[in-house]
């Protein structure tokens, strides 16, 4: 992309055969994505028709436009349009010298296929048609307005002023984006760990309220054999339970049979014979 006033050079994928009048057009390359700490925009181009946020992409297969939709090998490729739309909106919200309606998302495909049109509110073009696509738009910015927009872009991008985070030197962005991509895999694990930490107190609270088996209030179960024996002197058990005793001891047979009460106090059945607090 041949224009004046932007950062020298351009990243891979730049439509190199496009020439725009340098006295009217200014391009910025590898611009920090507003509000995204390590994200970057391929190109931001300012000219009489407005501000164009250009996303240069490589797509395999056959790409085309039909009925206002982007197609790849005959199948809808609408997911490719969300990035340019979000980028243009982010830029438009930060620029004070131009209305957001004049900040236009562009998806430029690095292919020799002639492609020009609109899909999902995004200008879609290819390498050979980028210049004609931009130049065909009606003028909306005069020379003074373009000068203000360019000055604002230079200040913002130089200082990373539209990022809510600390300024990141341009030569550091690529390295930090790589580090961030490595760290993103830890996010789901950290999220899961946080959920587990939150669930442990919740489980303890549930246990306090309803008991570990969910059969009744823990306060009732934890009252102990003294309280239970006050109402059931020989304990309480399930029907058909037999007191488990050592050789030579007499088993308790006069316990109360009440499965519901036993279920509440089952934790007091320390020998697991189906009778709680037998004596």
Q: Do the Cβ atoms of 106 and 123 come closer than 8 Å?
A: yes
Sign, Cα dihedral of 59, 64, 67, 68: positive
Written as six digits, the tokens of 185 are 């895999």
Residue with tokens 């292919």: 111
Least Cα distance to 35 among 162, 126, 122, 127 occurs for: 162
> CA-CA distance, 117 to 122, in Å (whole number)?
8
Checking if the pLDDT of 75 tops 50, the result is yes
- pLDDT for the residue 251: 86
Residue with tokens 């391009």: 27
Q: What is the mean pLDDT of the chain?
A: 76
- pLDDT for the residue 104: 95
* Average pLDDT score over residue span 217-225: 54
Helices and strands (DSSP H and E) totals, the chain: 8, 12
Strand order across the 256-257 sheet: 256-257, 236-237, 275-276
**Structure confidence at residue 103 as a pLDDT band (50, 70, 90):** very high
Q: How many CA atoms within 13 Å lie on the side-chain side of 138?
A: 1
Report, in angstroms and rounded to the nearest whole number, the Rg of the chain calculated over CA atoms: 36
Least Cα distance to 120 among 50, 53, 66 occurs for: 66
- pLDDT for the residue 138: 95
- pLDDT for the residue 140: 95
* Average pLDDT score over residue span 122-142: 92
- As a whole number of Å, the end-to-end CA separation of the chain is 94
Strand order across the 75-76 sheet: 63-66, 69-72, 75-76
Q: Do the Cβ atoms of 122 and 84 come closer than 8 Å?
A: yes
Q: Do the Cβ atoms of 255 and 278 come closer than 8 Å?
A: yes
DSSP lists the bridge partners of residue 28 as 44
- pLDDT for the residue 102: 94
**Structure confidence at residue 164 as a pLDDT band (50, 70, 90):** very low
Give me the phi and psi of 19, to 5 degrees please: -130, 125
Long-range contacts, stretch 169-177, CB < 8 angstroms, 24+ apart: 170/30, 173/30, 173/32, 173/38, 173/40, 176/37, 176/38, 177/38, 177/39, 177/40
More confident call, 70 vs 246 = 70
Checking if the pLDDT of 58 tops 60, the result is yes
Q: Residue 63 in 3-state DSSP? A: strand
């Amino acid at each position: 992309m041949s224009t004046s006033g932007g950062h020298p050079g351009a990243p891979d994928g730049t439509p190199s055969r496009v020439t725009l009048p340098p006295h009217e057009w200014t391009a910025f390359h590898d611009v920090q994505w507003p509000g995204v700490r390590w994200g970057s925009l391929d190109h931001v181009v300012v000219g009489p028709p407005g501000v164009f946020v250009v996303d240069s992409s490589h797509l395999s297969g056959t790409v085309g436009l039909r009925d206002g939709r982007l197609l790849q090998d005959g199948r809808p490729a609408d997911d490719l349009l969300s990035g340019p739309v979000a980028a243009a909106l982010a830029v438009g919200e930060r620029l004070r010298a131009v209305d957001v309606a004049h900040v236009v998302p562009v998806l430029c495909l690095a292919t020799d296929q002639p492609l020009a049109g609109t899909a999902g509110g995004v200008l879609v073009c290819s390498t050979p048609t980028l210049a004609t696509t931009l130049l065909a738009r009606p003028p909306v910015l005069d020379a003074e307005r373009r000068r203000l927009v360019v000055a604002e872009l230079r200040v913002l991008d130089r200082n990373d002023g539209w990022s809510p985070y600390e300024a990141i030197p341009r030569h550091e962005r690529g390295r930090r984006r790589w580090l961030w991509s490595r760290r993103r895999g830890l996010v789901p694990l950290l999220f899961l760990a946080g959920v587990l930490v939150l669930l442990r107190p919740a489980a303890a609270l549930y246990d306090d309220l309803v008991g570990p088996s969910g059969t009744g209030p823990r306060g009732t179960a934890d009252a102990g054999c003294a309280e239970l024996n006050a109402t059931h002197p020989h304990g309480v058990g399930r029907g058909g339970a037999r007191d488990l005793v050592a050789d030579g001891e007499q088993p308790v047979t006069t316990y109360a049979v009440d499965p519901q009460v036993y279920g509440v106090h089952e934790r007091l059945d320390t020998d697991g014979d189906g009778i709680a607090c037998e004596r």
